[in-house]
Homo-oligomer: A and B are copies of this chain.
């Protein structure tokens, strides 16, 4: 899927937390025992020892929740940037997203709520969807609909006291993307950051001309160009602070290394829907 292919043989892992083992004599600001994450994220975290330039590492507070620190640099950052970079949202505004159970989706709900922004969330129809709705509402979701609930002429009539959203987030494509477009207000923007259904986005001519919608895309790896390093680390610190205050949480499982095989199977979806797997070496 991604247009980035590491040369093989390569070491896997793009995120993670490490402990500083030793530092060169010229290194300032890092000492043995410090916790660090690669920021911007970079390949090769699945190894016992890594030697890299000290600029690669971002020192994090020792009381950062470790499993969040290990997973903060991609999904939560994507959620944060998408809420910031495409429209100006004010308290009381709303957004709509599909794929709301994804980690990005869970972060969007919480980061929006934290800023006083309502979220309208679209999930798949599947067994247990009522329970999923409750879980997302517990995170701060205002509305959660399954796709089949939205098979009505006017989806906006389903919204009680929430304004029409100016921003939509799409990580599914196909019909689920069309549902996001249906919710958007005149002049709204939909940002595509994934395509889980493997289906393209289809848009009517009138959506562009008369509804004046804008369609954009977001890819964190492109955003994380060199000159964003500082901004990126500030964002990581911000998100980890929220995680520490329990204002940001998402579903994951911290797994010891000797359970690697079953964690891999869970991550590959062999046992149905499972939380994100974070390996502890």
Q: A residues near B, CB below 8 A?
A: 2-3, 173, 191-195, 200-219, 222
CA A201 to CA B178, docked complex, whole Å: 12
21 A/B residue pairs, CB under 8 Å, sorted by A: A3-B210, A173-B205, A191-B208, A192-B205, A192-B208, A194-B205, A195-B204, A200-B202, A200-B203, A200-B205, A201-B202, A201-B205, A201-B208, A203-B203, A207-B217, A208-B215, A208-B217, A211-B217, A212-B217, A212-B219, A214-B215
Residues on B with C-beta less than 8 A from A219 are: 209-210, 212
CA A217 to CA B188, docked complex, whole Å: 11
Min CB gap A198→B, angstroms: 8
CA A67 to CA B203, docked complex, whole Å: 36
Task: Indicate whether A215 sits within 8 Å of B194 (C-beta atoms), given known contacts A3-B210, A210-B3.
Answer: no
Task: Indicate whether A192 sits within 8 Å of B209 (C-beta atoms), given known contacts A200-B203, A201-B203, A204-B200.
Answer: yes
Additional 6 contacts, C-beta under 8 A, given A3-B206, A208-B217? A192-B205, A192-B209, A194-B205, A201-B202, A208-B218, A212-B219
Min CB gap A66→B, angstroms: 30
| A213 B205 Cβ-Cβ under 8 A | no
Min CB gap A120→B, angstroms: 21
User: Copy number in this complex?
Assistant: 2
CA A205 to CA B3, docked complex, whole Å: 13
Residues on B with C-beta less than 8 A from A204 are: 195, 200-201
Residues on B with C-beta less than 8 A from A214 are: 214-216
A171 nearest in chain B by CB position: B205
| B202 A202 Cβ-Cβ under 8 A | yes
| B209 A193 Cβ-Cβ under 8 A | yes
A196 nearest in chain B by CB position: B205
| B218 A209 Cβ-Cβ under 8 A | yes
CA A26 to CA B201, docked complex, whole Å: 57
| A222 B216 Cβ-Cβ under 8 A | no
| A215 B215 Cβ-Cβ under 8 A | yes
Residues on B with C-beta less than 8 A from A217 are: 207-213
A191 nearest in chain B by CB position: B208
CA A138 to CA B140, docked complex, whole Å: 61
Min CB gap A196→B, angstroms: 9
CA A3 to CA B205, docked complex, whole Å: 13
Min CB gap A86→B, angstroms: 10
Min CB gap A273→B, angstroms: 21
A-B pairs, 6 with minimum CB distance: A208-B217, A195-B205, A192-B208, A215-B215, A209-B219, A209-B217
Min CB gap A201→B, angstroms: 5
Residues on B with C-beta less than 8 A from A205 are: 173, 192, 194-195, 200-201
